[in-house]
Every structure is written in structure tokens, then in C-alpha cells.
Chains A and B, each alone.
Chain A
Amino acid sequence: EVQLVESGGGLVKPGGSLRLSCAASGFTFSDYSMNWVRQAPGKGLEWVSSISLSSNYIYYADSMKGRFTISRDNAKNSLYLQMNSLRAEDTAVYYCARTYCTNGVCYLFVLDSWGQGILVTVSS
């Protein structure tokens, strides 16, 4: 069974930093692109970042460029999101999500498995 478990969330002051982790199990992690998606309280889904199988291709939403860094460790079956210079508007539930891949082809932005989400609150 595919499992994605986020950790590292919590309360942080504006301007602070936080590192989210996503532990993957139940599938060969290195065969899949991965993503972070967030959802502010009472709001819709917002794509944050995507990373390819070997970290060769990395993409960010404009509002996160320069502040957030996505990374992965295939040996540890883990995905990360380093968040710096946090703002109140970054307050959200952050989801780790797997890209649908089959027969060596990954389908851009088709997110077939999601974690349960982790809450990040930016407030003084």
C-alpha cells in the first residue's frame, strides 16, 4: 500500500524557516516524480513545487521561488521542502503527492497518491 507521511510542520514566526519531510513507503520511490501542494485554511489547492526522479528537473510556483527549496533523498525514500522567509500567507496544510508514472513515463501534474497533510502556521 502506498503511504506518504508528512512531518515537520508547526508554528513559526514570520521570517522564520521550517523544513517539511515526507516519508514514502509501499512503492519504489526513485521511480516517481514528487510534488508539494498546499491549501490555506478554507481556500483551494495551490501547487507549490515538483521534482523529477533524479532531481534533474525542479519547478516552483512563482510566489515560492527563492524562498522554498524542494529536494529528495532516494536512498531514504524521502521528500523535503525547505521553507525560508516565511510569511503569514504561507499558512496552510502542506501535502506531499506522488506523480502518476507507468512504464517509465510520468504524467505531468497527475497526482495519484497524497499524504494526509501537515499544518504550517506562520504567526507572531
Chain B
Amino acid sequence: QSVLTQPPSASGTPGQRVTISCSGSNSNIGTNTVNWYQQIPGTAPKLLIYSNNQRPSGVPDRFSGSKSGTSASLAISGLQSEDEADYYCAAWDDSLMGVFGTGTKVTVL
């Protein structure tokens, strides 16, 4: 079950900045790094951000991540239509299990 809490939805117009929050606890985000995944409906997830703020090669610099205490956030600047997708935060938990966030659906208006 998800132990990382995200808002169910977020939206913006093209060009706007959208931020998604991810709230965890001391046993996961508080002590381990946060990763973010993008999932376009009907396709497999894609790694977007790892180690809190690192972008894999090929991921546009419009995507950025940050972490503070037991929370993290993903920012999408210069929102584009192709950014419409579900976004999940994830972290390893000290109870030796992986945990995903509840997911946030981003809509481009």
C-alpha cells in the first residue's frame, strides 16, 4: 500500500509551472532519496528524477525535483501538452521495502 501521499490532481495551462508534492515519513523520505516516475496512460512508467534532483539523460530540464525533511516535490516548468500524464514519487523505506506515492494526474488545460 502507498505510504507516500500526493495530491490526486494538478493542472496548468501551456507554459505555466506546476508543482506536485509528496509527503512521507522519517523511515522513507526522511532518510532515503526520492525518485519520480512519469506514466502516460497505457504505457510503462518512465524514470524522471532520481536521487531527489537528478535527471536521467534525455529528460528535459523543465523537470526538477527537491526534497526537504520528510517531503519532496516535483516541478514542471514551461508545461507542455505532452506532459499530461500520471506522476509518482517513490522512495526506499527502512523497513526494507519500496514505496510509491499515491500518484498525481497532471492535466494540461
Binding site for B on A (CB under 8 A): 35, 37, 44-47, 50, 59-63, 95, 100, 107-112, 114-117
Contact = CB atoms under 8 A, between A and B. Distances in A.
Interface in B76-109: 86, 88, 90-92, 96-103
Contact of A116 (B35, B39, B44): B44
Give the top 7 A-B pairs by smallest Cβ distance, nearest first.
A47-B98, A114-B44, A44-B103, A108-B92, A110-B50, A45-B100, A109-B92
A61 B98 CA distance: 8
Given A44-B2, A44-B102, A111 B97 contact: no
Contacts of A63: 1
B50 A100 contact: yes
B35 A109 contact: yes
Contacts of B47: 100, 110-112
A105 to B, nearest CB: 11
B97 A61 contact: yes
A5 to B, nearest CB: 12
Contact of A45 (B56, B96, B103): B103
B32 interface: yes
Given A44-B103, A45-B100, 15 more contacts: A44-B86, A44-B101, A45-B88, A46-B1, A46-B2, A47-B99, A107-B51, A108-B92, A109-B35, A110-B47, A110-B50, A111-B37, A111-B45, A112-B47, A116-B44
B45 A95 contact: yes
A44 B88 contact: yes
B90 A109 contact: yes
B2 to A, nearest CB: 6
Nearest to A93: B44
Contacts of B88: 44-45
A109 B90 CA distance: 8
B62 interface: no
